Structure 1
């Protein structure tokens, strides 16, 4: 079989891929894929696809701590056809085979956490010409710790009686359930043991407030991650979910911080200010448990940032349970996802689109946040009059900025 070798230039955070359709075998600078859900996506009509792993570095040689990814196959409507969880190893790894050359979308995304093993990949090859998958209209970013990464949420996947890579599956964390509910792109900026300003051990090394700015996660024990600053223009989520505070709450006494509640709130506000600077129009949902992780300070920080009038929202997760290694299992993650979905659905114009509608004219909506032009109604033709609406995000209603004719 003759394979096409394609250059993979997937972004660290965003699930996408720029594809080079050359028949030549192309070498590429390898990339790390260490954030949960980091990976790439492409479309093709073929029967086989592989990915080349330059370096996989699990923390040990057991199956418990391999570097796990999920290879998902989606149809043209973004419905999941199948998901195959696999441990990727050095060299070529088969991620898709089929007896029929149907047009499908292949998504390869990280399942396990980087603290159990890191990875570099550089290219894919297929038996039919691939093309880059278009970004989805809905986009979400999740910022958190082990709860968000999916720490130990799938004990049935492993014989291990302790947390390991094999029983951690970000695909089936609350982040995955929420993203698939909306058929949204999602990035997961999460790492176990990290806090807003103090980590679980009482140190303040590479907290999530710092890690948020990086292209890929910094794993101190592995020489595979860099502190390259992420280009925030590459991915513009309409919804950002922040769930942090548990590790700060545990680590404060070890750190000897005076007035820890105020210290946490001040630093949480600084994190929210940074997120708002990066994503000016996003709805930012701040989650907390009801009885741990500084829920009162999270609420106060949301109010300090202007609350719902400034698109900051507070969510106390009353559904939170932790039956798997002190963390939610898959069913408990589903309950958290349901609670978060209800919150997202309650936010007006959360996805920055409004169907204004008209029988006689075409409504064109310019999305300030993403630059996307949404056409509501029939496709405009030469001579048609169209109503042009620009979404103004803030405290006012959306307004029509004028009318125009299609040349």
Structure 2
């Protein structure tokens, strides 16, 4: 009897020690494959089952527990570099440089253990090249979906990309073009966050409606349907992926540009501009028949050109409204003039905040918020 009691006591002690050890041990590291993520923006899953982030500010979210997780990212083909940026528990953190074809872990540390949320954004634009996500590792990982909310698609040029806006790490005039990109801080995402709306950016630096800043094309109407906004790309974007309530178009800055001084540049042609703009709006409406179209001018176009641009946009509105009498009338917003403080004449992060504050009431009214 004493033997049985002693044996029971030993077994019970071992059981209790096992429980205590299990309770105090760190959680098991999980792996969340890229295919389990739910990106918002233009993307594709490549043959290696990596998630390629394509458009400016395309983003995805996940949650984890503990004090750290790792995001494995690379540049397909290994050429050049791009940037990611992220929010942790709703607070913006920083940009992270991504280079090389081998997936390297980006470590995200948290001072206090618990459940945390992360939203990762692509800081650079489509023409810089995609950034591939292979997997995420950490404890108790879960992919996050975007909350149900109105969606705005922002179509535009380098300003919409957030290009040349952020010189906090790489000063203006140094590095390469994408080193100052900050899509998260561009006016579109800032407006969307202020309105608790969702957003996607369809933007290309230097692009215009009938001509680009230093060339005759390919222009936005020629590349909008392409997955990565590249004219020679065969893969097209699936426009049924998202259904925006509002489509904002900000094009014209580059059409008015004087170019690079090397390529022949003819005087601005209002007729070509309006005709091409009308065709493009028709294209957008064919993709999103129920969306409200909003045409915005440019805070960077001043003087007589400013008046010409506004008149052109008014002409586009008039023609589209007449062609679609049962649709919502095209909304138009003329920016206040701005002296940009970013790199190469672009708005800075602070300037984008000013633009967003000007635009927020306009989009609030369009969304009936």
- TM bucket by the smaller chain? 0.7 to 0.9
Return closer, same or farther for 1:54/1:172 CA change in 2, 3 Å cut-off: closer
Q: Give the aligned CA root-mean-square deviation in angstroms.
A: 3.2
Q: Does 1:199 align with 2:212?
A: yes
Q: 8, 14, 32: which is aligned to 2:41?
A: 14
Measured after TM superposition, the shift of residue 201 of structure 1 is: 1.7
Number of equivalences: 326
Q: Does 1:265 align with 2:270?
A: no
Partner of 1:186: 199
Measured after TM superposition, the shift of residue 57 of structure 1 is: 6.4
Return closer, same or farther for 1:117/1:143 CA change in 2, 3 Å cut-off: same
Measured after TM superposition, the shift of residue 259 of structure 1 is: 7.7
Q: Does 1:126 align with 2:146?
A: no
Return closer, same or farther for 1:246/1:148 CA change in 2, 3 Å cut-off: same
Return closer, same or farther for 1:51/1:104 CA change in 2, 3 Å cut-off: same
Measured after TM superposition, the shift of residue 41 of structure 1 is: 1.7
Q: Does 1:91 align with 2:100?
A: no
User: Are the aligned partners of 2:152 and 2:245 in contact in 1 as well (CA < 8 Å)?
Assistant: yes
Q: Any unmatched runs of 5+ in structure 1?
A: 19-26, 61-65, 75-79, 221-225, 352-407
Measured after TM superposition, the shift of residue 37 of structure 1 is: 0.3
Return closer, same or farther for 1:327/1:129 CA change in 2, 3 Å cut-off: closer
Q: 128, 135, 143: which is aligned to 2:155?
A: 143
Partner of 1:320: 338
Secondary structure of 1:273 counterpart: helix
| CA distance in structure 2 between the partners assigned to 1:248 and 1:160 by the alignment | 24
User: Are the aligned partners of 1:17 and 1:40 in contact in 2 as well (CA < 8 Å)?
Assistant: no
Q: 161, 167, 178: which is aligned to 2:180?
A: 167
Q: 314, 317, 320: which is aligned to 1:302?
A: 317
| CA distance in structure 2 between the partners assigned to 1:164 and 1:16 by the alignment | 22
Secondary structure of 1:284 counterpart: strand
For residues 129-188 of structure 1, the C-alpha deviation after alignment (integer angstroms, 9 at most, x for no partner) is 313324431211110001111121122332343563232211111122112112222111
Return closer, same or farther for 1:299/1:11 CA change in 2, 3 Å cut-off: farther
Greater helix proportion: 2
Return closer, same or farther for 1:196/1:12 CA change in 2, 3 Å cut-off: farther
The answer to which structure, 1 or 2, has the higher relative contact order (CA under 8 A, 6+ apart) is 2
User: Are the aligned partners of 1:12 and 1:215 in contact in 2 as well (CA < 8 Å)?
Assistant: no
Measured after TM superposition, the shift of residue 17 of structure 1 is: 11
User: Are the aligned partners of 2:245 and 2:291 in contact in 1 as well (CA < 8 Å)?
Assistant: yes
User: Are the aligned partners of 1:114 and 1:219 in contact in 2 as well (CA < 8 Å)?
Assistant: no
Partner of 2:356: 337
Measured after TM superposition, the shift of residue 114 of structure 1 is: 4.4
| CA distance in structure 2 between the partners assigned to 1:219 and 1:155 by the alignment | 30
Q: Does 1:249 align with 2:248?
A: no
| CA distance in structure 2 between the partners assigned to 1:45 and 1:214 by the alignment | 38
| CA distance in structure 2 between the partners assigned to 1:241 and 1:144 by the alignment | 8
Return closer, same or farther for 1:133/1:13 CA change in 2, 3 Å cut-off: closer
Return closer, same or farther for 1:67/1:263 CA change in 2, 3 Å cut-off: same
Measured after TM superposition, the shift of residue 203 of structure 1 is: 2.5
| CA distance in structure 2 between the partners assigned to 1:271 and 1:279 by the alignment | 12
Partner of 1:346: 365
User: Are the aligned partners of 2:152 and 2:192 in contact in 1 as well (CA < 8 Å)?
Assistant: yes
| CA distance in structure 2 between the partners assigned to 1:15 and 1:95 by the alignment | 25
Measured after TM superposition, the shift of residue 217 of structure 1 is: 3.6
- Which deviates further from its counterpart, 262-271 or 40-49? 40-49
| CA distance in structure 2 between the partners assigned to 1:56 and 1:101 by the alignment | 34
Partner of 2:10: none
Secondary structure of 1:155 counterpart: coil
Structure whose CA Rg is larger: 2
For residues 258-284 of structure 1, the C-alpha deviation after alignment (integer angstroms, 9 at most, x for no partner) is 982111111101111111121122222
Partner of 1:282: 291
Secondary structure of 2:86 counterpart: strand
Secondary structure of 2:177 counterpart: coil
